[in-house]
Amino acid sequence: MPYQSINPTNLETLEEFPSLSKKEATGKIDAAHEAFQSWRTTDYETRKGIVNEFSNQLKERESEYAEMITLEMGKPISQAKEEIGFCAKIAKFYAEGAETFLADSTVETGDSGEAYLRYDPIGVLMGVMPWNFPFYQVVRFAIPNIMAGNAILVRHASCVPRCAQAIEKLFHEVGLPSGVYNNLFIPTEFVETIIDDSRIQGVSLTGSERAGRSVAAAAGRNLRRSVMELGGNDAFIVLEDADLEKTVEKAVQGRLTNNGQSCVAAKRFIVHSSLYEDFTAGMKEAFANLKVGDPMNSDTELGPLSTEGAAKDLHRKIQTAVRQGAEVVTGGGRPDRPGAFVEPTILTGITSENDIFDEELFGPVACIYRFEDEDQAIELANNSSYGLGGSVYTSDIESGRRVAEKVDTGMLFINQPTNSSEELPFGGIKNSGYGRELSQLGILEFVNKKLIHTLEEFEQS
């Protein structure tokens, strides 16, 4: 697939970029491997200064980068600005914290010696990144690993090439040595070729379950470390004592942020029967009153999907779900306007035989389910091959914690939609992947946890 920048609001082609040949891609590995030899021993103060300046430039050029995001993949401009702001926070967090996070740690032993763990960089890492958060996903992967002393190759999504190019350019502008960060405009079939190179020591992918299986297989075949952040079908559990008005507000926010295109978006709304009718009516009213339109307008609440192909695919899944028995509360179609738009849609009456019961719908579609008691809610939440995030809504925090502890997922939030923060570990279980990003855990995924054990003198045998 060629790298094309297409505005999903009007389907206008903005720019095209040529892909690298295999020889050119190999040259990027050469550059990264060579750069790693010196970057691995560069002191923390130097790394810190570069990454702090990266953070500063993101803040100063927030509007420029946000407009780039919105033009390429349709995110509402206010949310695009939030994405850039979050990236600046992540960079600052690791710039200031990496030395502490990677400080030698003592290991208690039962002998007369001393032992400690040393955290060393492991080499060149390959990142395969998605389009839905075109700056955040890259920053989340690249910044902690650059601070750890690794070198980075990134194969970004083919529909956000301007964002991909801008990130690499900014790293160069703030003084990161050439070769430490490398953007790869390569076709999908080249990804495994890169991973097969013996100099690649780790692989991180954020994307679909299908992509994760392919890349994880290549990493495993080559005995490479890997982190996989894949799809999600997050449960949004509404207990009978939840504040209905506030919960509906959070439900709309949790489902429609980024035009519904988020792995950790609330997708399955599991609502106690006593609140089900009112909750559904509240969601319907909110969906009907959304300001849908050009995402460059500051008051737009819902923009287009990332591509026309994505819009067609989502609409097809909605139609299939209805044929299989789902009921449309509102929406279900595509508006009569140019661009990759899909109507905000609510579906009910979904049984386990329906394809969408265990399928991630990437867009503005909410699926609402009814439950009678807590055990049924937990069973329904866990009846999924995914396990990324989720949330519980209740006036009783202890009840919320009790339910949260029983839901099989990597992250669970009480009285708030699943979200990200630089201090909180991010990742899932089951078909949602493995490994953790952000927090201290994120910088420890691709380092050598080397044990050094010393005895003062030879022990007597």
Judge whether 75 lies within some domain: yes
Tell me whether residue 424 is in a domain: no
pLDDT at 2 (0 to 100): 78
Identify whether 372 is part of a domain: yes
Same domain, yes or no: 111 and 136: yes
Q: Are residues 262 and 399 in the same domain?
A: yes
The residue annotated as part of the active site, out of 83, 209, 229, 301, is 229
* pLDDT recorded at residue 110: 82
Residues 224 and 249 reside in one and the same domain: no
Same domain membership, residue 255 and residue 209: no
Per-residue pLDDT of the chain (461 residues; tens, 9 = 90+): 679 999 999 999 999 999 999 999 999 999 999 999 999 999 999 999 999 999 999 999 999 999 999 999 999 999 999 999 999 999 999 999 999 999 999 999 988 789 999 999 999 999 999 999 999 999 999 999 999 999 999 999 999 999 999 999 999 999 999 999 999 999 999 999 999 999 999 999 999 999 999 999 999 999 999 999 999 999 999 999 999 999 999 999 999 999 999 999 999 999 999 999 999 999 999 999 999 999 999 999 999 999 999 999 999 999 999 999 999 999 999 999 999 999 999 999 999 999 999 999 999 999 999 999 999 999 999 999 999 999 999 999 999 999 999 999 999 999 999 999 999 999 999 999 999 999 999 999 999 999 999 987 765 55
Q: Are residues 248 and 289 in the same domain?
A: yes
**Which of the following is catalytic: 87, 159, 263, 367?**
263
- The predicted pLDDT at position 180 comes to 98
**CATH label of the domain that carries residue 219:** 3.40.605.10
If asked whether residues 162 and 270 sit together in one domain, one would say: no
Residues 45 and 167 in one domain: yes
pLDDT at 460: 55
What pLDDT does 139 receive?
A: 98
The verdict on 387 and 285 lying in the same domain is yes
Whether 405 sits among the annotated catalytic residues: the reply is no
Number of domains the chain contains: 2
Please report whether residue 460 resides in a domain: no
Q: Are residues 278 and 373 in the same domain?
A: yes
Asked if residue 278 lies in contact with residue 431, where contact means CB atoms within 8 angstroms, the answer is no
Put residue 293 in one of left, alpha, beta given phi > 0 → left and psi -120 to 50 → alpha: left
> How many Cβ atoms from other residues are within 10 Å of residue 4's Cβ?
16
Q: Are residues 56 and 189 in the same domain?
A: yes
Whether 59 is in a domain gets the answer: yes
Kindly report the pTM of this predicted structure.
0.96
Residue 74, phi-psi category: left (phi > 0), alpha (psi -120 to 50), beta (remainder): left
Is 4 part of any domain? no
CA 249 to chain CA mean position, Å: 23
If asked whether residues 217 and 243 sit together in one domain, one would say no
In the prediction, which pLDDT does 458 show?
66
The predicted pLDDT at position 456 comes to: 76
Least Cα distance to 154 among 170, 178, 137 occurs for 137
Q: Which structural domain, as residue segments, surrounds residue 119?
A: 18-230+432-452
Please state, in angstroms and as integers, the Cα–Cα distance from residue 311 to each residue in 61, 369, 415, following that order.
Answer: 30, 24, 31
CB atoms within 10 A of CB 150: 24
Any domain includes 425: no
Q: For this structure, is 45 an active site residue?
A: no
CATH number at residue 295: 3.40.309.10
Task: Please check whether residues 246 and 365 belong to one and the same domain.
Answer: yes
Is 12 within the bounds of a domain?
Answer: no
